[in-house]
């Protein structure tokens, strides 16, 4: 038994000290500029807190209603639950593969009952008689354990581990995307609610103008053309109310799908908040290395490392495969004597196999592993380039957003004054209705466009946070 233990320990030591046939992994250089485009990430204000990937989402989203909706989504969203289940699957597969590194010990017991003739010497001659033999055994042993001298099993385990790590990052990417999608859906509903209210307010104003024009027409002061022109604005507002009502209902449906459950009316927006719903400041410069923290890019790199390990496993297949089967235990002719002194036995059966003619199977597997690695390199580099583009696009939008919002607000304010003045002049009989009609339409368009611009600004900040890999804390 001591010999078996010594042989097993020696084999284990050889396996742990074995060589590794996998190439040394080197992270590919980032195929993008070292920093984000200069001048596009200027801070919006000096006093605000800078946003980075380390900012927890609960600190980033400052509106308590939106924060509650996001938390509900994280607790109930089905896509995120699928991602979590995928992580558990990958973890289980890794544990199964990792078990092959060490020998599996198994206990066994058996009993053999046989009845066969045997020769018996007697004092006057020989005669055949029948005898029964009962054999009992109990043993503990290792069956066909591969001694991993060339790292085949360890590299397969490494690949399984990296696949597990990639699934964790994919789950993180799903969480980041869910937070961004939920915030964007909440903001979209807020904007549509505000547009609905604008349509209702202007429908009331247009209705008053329409009634006034009809009254003037009845007195012969206004023409039928002016009546029809007033009616077009009024009917357009009515149509927009119906459309906006539909959009608000659909926005709520989309938001509750992301949340995975029905939402309280107290958590739903009635209009875009006047203040920012997120932190507003950005760092003055964003290094491209920040992209490495994005979950999708981290997942791509884990897949790349796993593909590198598979090359080592494919290389090891060209070398001898050494296996060990060993057992030690006890054997006796009677159950009562099974564990008595002198009944010990052991057996050791090492084996080795070396491929000689496999008709290109191992070479094909190696070429496949190398081609897979090349594809993973391209996938990783494409993920980095895509991430850089998303950050650059979001920053480019952010750089001009403040000026656009200021201009659109000024346009809306001017349209309000213009409408008020033209309406007063029309009622006083100074101007014709065409001027008032044009002012009504300009104001309506300016109000709607301002809401869209405010939505774009709020959604842009969410997109920047997502693009730099935030949302994990």
21 Cβ contact partners less than 8 Å away, ≥ 6 residues apart = 150, 151, 152, 155, 311, 312, 313, 315, 316, 319
Query: Cβ contacts of residue 275 below 8 Å, gap of 6+?
Result: 62
Tokens representing 114 are 């046989």
Q: What angle (nearest 5°) sits at the alpha carbon of residue 138, between those of residues 132 and 139?
A: 140
pLDDT tens by residue, the chain, 473 residues: 454 455 455 555 555 556 788 899 999 988 888 776 554 444 444 433 455 557 788 988 999 999 999 999 999 999 999 999 999 999 999 998 988 888 888 888 878 877 766 544 444 444 455 567 777 787 888 888 888 888 888 999 999 999 999 999 999 999 999 999 999 999 999 999 999 999 998 888 888 888 888 887 888 887 888 888 888 888 988 999 999 999 999 999 999 999 999 999 999 999 999 888 888 766 556 677 777 888 999 999 999 999 999 999 999 888 888 888 888 878 777 666 667 776 777 888 888 888 888 888 999 999 999 999 999 999 999 999 998 888 888 888 888 888 999 999 999 999 999 988 888 887 777 777 778 888 888 998 999 999 999 999 999 999 988 888 877 67
What does the CA dihedral 183, 395, 175, 456 come to, rounded to 10 degrees?
Answer: 20
Name the residue ranges covered by the structural domains of the chain.
36-102+150-319+375-467
Give the global pTM: 0.83
Sequential DSSP letters for 378-421:
HHHHHHHHHHHHHHHHHHHHHHHHHHHHHHHHHHHHHHHHHHHH
DSSP 8-state secondary structure symbol assigned to residue 49: P
Beta bridge partners of 326: 142, 348
Six-digit token string for 57? 């989402």
d(CA 455, CA 432): 36
- In CATH, which of 2.60.40.1220, 1.10.357.10, 1.20.1600.10, 3.20.20.540 is domain 36-102+150-319+375-467? 1.20.1600.10
Is residue 455 within 8 Å of residue 195, measured between CB atoms? no
Distance, CA of 12 to CA of 10 (rounded, Å): 5
* Two structure tokens written together for 396: 């480019």
Give the orientation angle of helix 152-218 with respect to helix 295-316, to 10 degrees: 150
């Amino acid at each position: 038994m001591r010999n078996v233990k010594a042989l097993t320990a020696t084999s284990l030591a050889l396996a742990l000290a074995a060589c590794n046939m996998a190439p040394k992994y080197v992270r590919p250089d980032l195929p993008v500029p070292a920093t984000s485009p200069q001048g596009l990430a200027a801070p919006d204000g000096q006093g605000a807190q800078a946003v980075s990937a380390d900012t927890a989402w609960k600190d980033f989203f400052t509106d308590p209603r939106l924060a509650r909706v996001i938390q509900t989504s994280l607790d109930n969203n089905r896509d995120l639950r699928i991602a979590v289940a995928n992580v558990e699957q990958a973890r289980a597969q890794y544990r199964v593969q990792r078990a092959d590194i060490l020998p599996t010990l198994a206990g066994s017991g058996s009993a053999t009952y046989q009845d066969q003739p045997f020769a018996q010497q007697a004092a006057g001659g020989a005669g055949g008689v029948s005898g029964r033999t009962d054999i009992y055994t109990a043993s503990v042993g290792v069956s066909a354990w591969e001694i991993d001298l060339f790292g085949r099993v360890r590299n397969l385990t490494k690949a399984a581990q990296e696949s597990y790590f990639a699934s964790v990052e994919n789950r993180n990417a799903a969480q980041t995307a869910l937070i961004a999608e939920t915030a964007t859906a909440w903001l979209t509903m807020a904007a549509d609610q505000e547009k609905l209210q604008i349509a209702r307010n202007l429908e009331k104003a247009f209705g008053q103008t329409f009634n006034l024009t009809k009254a003037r027409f009845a007195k012969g002061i206004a023409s039928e053309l002016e009546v029809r022109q007033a009616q077009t604005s009024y009917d357009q507002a009515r149509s927009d109310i119906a459309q906006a009502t539909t959009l608000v209902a659909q926005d709520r449906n989309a938001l509750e799908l992301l949340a995975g459950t029905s939402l309280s009316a107290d958590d739903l927006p009635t209009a875009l908040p006047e203040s920012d719903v997120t932190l507003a400041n950005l760092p003055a410069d964003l290094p491209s290395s920040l992209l490495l923290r994005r979950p999708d890019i981290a997942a791509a790199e884990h897949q790349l490392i796993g593909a590198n390990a598979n090359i080592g496993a494919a290389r090891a297949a060209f070398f001898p495969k050494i296996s060990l089967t060993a057992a030690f235990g006890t054997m006796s002719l009677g159950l009562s004597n099974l564990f008595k002194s002198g009944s010990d036995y052991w057996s050791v059966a090492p084996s080795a196999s070396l491929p000689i003619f496999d008709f290109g199977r191992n070479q094909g597997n190696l070429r496949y592993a190398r081609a897979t690695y090349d594809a993973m390199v391209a996938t990783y580099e494409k993920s980095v380039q895509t991430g850089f583009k998303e950050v650059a696009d979001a920053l480019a939008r952010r750089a001009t957003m403040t000026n656009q919002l200021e201009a659109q607000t000024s346009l809306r304010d001017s349209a309000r004054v213009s409408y008020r003045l033209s309406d007063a002049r029309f009622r006083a009989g100074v101007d014709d209705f065409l001027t008032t009609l044009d002012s009504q339409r300009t104001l309506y368009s300016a109000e709607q466009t301002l809401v869209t611009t405010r939505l774009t600004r709020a959604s842009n900040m969410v997109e920047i946070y997502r693009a730099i890999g935030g949302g994990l804390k």
